[in-house]
């Protein structure tokens, strides 16, 4: 009986997404019983190996009764909420879609938690809440100025979480993720992108022969090598942060917001050099003009997460990030994936 009572069951939304699948794997290795809901469950079978998965959508009213049954049956110890629309471009052109899913859908989940006395909620927020114009490293205390409905929708939920804690006693941690990248160190799971928008996946597109050249947008920034600097965070460090957040809420009341990043930045040229080293070959480069609105340097101050989550970004040096990425590309698991069937 005592052994049964010590088993903790967690629900992960977006559990077959890039970050979600790594979080499921990490939690499973920490001896949680992991369940996940994901509307793309059947389209990403390679990412559905670390949780009991359900093809359900928390934004679809027709699925809410089934999700309610999951809460009633499993008495979840915590909910880890990673399900969201997250592409910056469409969030500008289709804001209604982003607010309905990222805000209204999240309210559905929060109300389920309140109804079923699941009082720990870990939320995947984003550095996009900050917008532009902040001096690096960015702390949680600066005034958020989101530029898109994606960032604004995440900031809205951070405010909702504060209200739900005050009114209903729902404890929460919002993790503001910076540029998540790489793969699990054992190569069981990694990033799979079709038409990627982030830097490292775009280098991968060139390395895999799906693009001719890698575009460097701007070589005249006020940085040591002239290229823009960003904070790249190893996905395994990110997964650990979600696990540590559950542990923190086991012992503490409150609602919290933490940056989750490398705590330092790497330039585009540094990333490119590290990828070429890991690949063992040169990457053809096309130098282009700066993109409007791109800041020269963005990086996170992670001191609050280090202090309160007992967390450090121990894998987030650029050589390890790139080597684990390449190891995943060369892995048997990656090469079994039919990329033509992966949702964009």
Determine the number of helices (DSSP H) and then strands (DSSP E) in the chain. 13, 13
> 3-class SS at 80?
strand
Angle, to 10 degrees, between the axis of helix 235-251 and the axis of helix 18-29? 60
Look at phi and psi of residue 95 and say left if phi exceeds 0, alpha if psi is from -120 to 50, else beta.
alpha
Q: What angle do CA 232, 234, 240 make, to 5 degrees?
A: 130
Q: What CA–CA distance (Å, rounded) separates 325 from 192?
A: 11
Evaluate whether 127 touches 176 at the Cβ level (below 8 Å): yes
Catalytically annotated residue among 26, 32, 150, 256: 150
Spatial CB neighbours of 125, under 8 Å, sequence gap ≥ 6: 154, 155, 157, 158, 174, 175, 176, 177, 257
Evaluate whether 225 touches 266 at the Cβ level (below 8 Å): no
CB crowding 237-273: b at 16 or more within 10 Å, else e: bbbbbbbbbbebbeeeeebbbbbbbbbbbbbbbbbbb
Burial of 308 (0-12, 13-18, 19+ CB in 10 A): middle
C-beta neighbour count of 145 within 10 angstroms: 14
Evaluate whether 180 touches 263 at the Cβ level (below 8 Å): no
132 closest CA partner among 292, 265, 262, 304: 292
* 150 has catalytic annotation: yes
Q: What angle do CA 229, 182, 210 make, to 5 degrees?
A: 90
Structure tokens at 229: 């600097």
Q: For strand 33-37 and strand 179-181, is the pairing parallel, antiparallel, or unpaired?
A: unpaired
Catalytic residues: 150
């Amino acid at each position: 009986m005592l052994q049964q009572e010590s088993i903790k069951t967690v629900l992960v939304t977006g559990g077959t997404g890039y970050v979600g699948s790594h979080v499921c794997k990490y939690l499973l290795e920490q001896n949680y019983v992991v369940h996940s809901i994901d509307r793309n469950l059947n389209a990403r079978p390679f990412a559905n190996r670390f949780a009991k998965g359900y093809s359900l959508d928390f934004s679809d009213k027709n699925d809410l009764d089934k999700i309610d049954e999951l809460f009633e049956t499993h008495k979840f110890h915590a909910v880890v909420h990673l399900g969201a629309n997250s592409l910056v471009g469409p969030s500008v052109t289709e804001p209604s879609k982003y607010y309905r899913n990222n805000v209204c859908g999240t309210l559905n989940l929060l109300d389920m938690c309140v109804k079923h006395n699941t009082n720990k909620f870990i939320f995947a927020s984003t550095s996009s809440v900050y917008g532009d114009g902040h001096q690096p490293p960015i702390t949680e205390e600066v005034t958020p100025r989101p530029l898109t409905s994606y960032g604004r929708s995440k900031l809205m939920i951070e405010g909702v979480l504060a209200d739900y804690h005050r009114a209903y006693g729902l404890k929460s941690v919002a993790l503001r993720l910076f540029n998540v990248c790489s793969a699990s160190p054992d190569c069981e799971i990694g990033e799979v992108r079709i038409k990627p928008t982030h830097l490292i996946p775009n280098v991968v597109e060139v390395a895999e022969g799906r693009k001719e050249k890698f575009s460097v947008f701007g070589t005249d920034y006020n940085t040591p090598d002239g290229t823009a600097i960003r904070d790249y965070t190893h996905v395994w460090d990110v997964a650990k942060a979600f696990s540590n957040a559950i542990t923190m809420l086991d012992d503490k009341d409150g609602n919290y917001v933490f940056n989750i990043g490398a705590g330092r930045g790497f330039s585009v040229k540094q990333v490119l050099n590290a990828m070429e080293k890991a690949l063992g070959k040169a990457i053809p480069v096309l130098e282009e003009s700066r993109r409007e609105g791109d800041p020269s340097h963005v990086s996170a101050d992670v001191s609050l997460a280090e202090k309160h989550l007992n967390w450090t970004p121990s894998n987030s040096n650029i050589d390890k990030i790139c080597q684990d990425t390449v190891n995943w590309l060369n892995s048997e698991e990656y090469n079994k994936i039919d990329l033509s069937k992966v949702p964009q």
